[in-house]
A and B are shown apart, each in its own frame.
Chain A
Amino acid sequence: EAGVTQSPTHLIKTRGQQVTLRCSPISGHTSVYWYQQALGLGLQFLLWYDEGEERNRGNFPPRFSGRQFPNYSSELNVNALELEDSALYLCASKMFLTNYGYTFGSGTRLTVV
């Protein structure tokens, strides 16, 4: 069974640019979660998608947005990049409305210079 896949693995962007990160969940998983892990700050919840809808949003500015496609894959978009956006962006998936733990992808390391 394929795990959660994320692309790209690494990314370097300039301040002010825009970036799109991609995630494909495990087959059968419809919920996709996005987290940011910046150095020293732990995992911060960004967004939760299921059935194409945004189910919940963390305490991040509107320039962080995303969407979920009919095949349950998801994109995270970050506009007007700032230096503090440099972090590991993790996508996780699980079956909808279950209380099982997530399975994480390998992440996208974003560096903003």
Chain B
Amino acid sequence: DTAVSQTPKYLVTQMGNDKSIKCEQNLGHDTMYWYKQDSKKFLKIMFSYNNKELIINETVPNRFSPKSPDKAHLNLHINSLELGDSAVYFCASSPSSGGAINEQFFGPGTRLTVL
């Protein structure tokens, strides 16, 4: 059973298009995250939701809009895609947002290529 799953695994699209990436976790965790990993492998947090509530919103263009319909799902919608959006996007989840070890579990990633 997959703990954190993402769809699609690969996404190739044209500049200017709008696309969505979906994430689901079956670990019963309260907190979910979106990370972007660029071509230099730098992994940077974008957003975090705790029980459907946005708790982290790093400096991200407002073309990126996360949505959490329930605590097991966190989707990422991207409007007006640009070349610089090409990266691997990882979803992650953790039991809560603070406290103790609170290890984050990562999904397999979505490789987005904008042409």
A in complex with B: no
Binding site for A on B (CB under 8 A): none
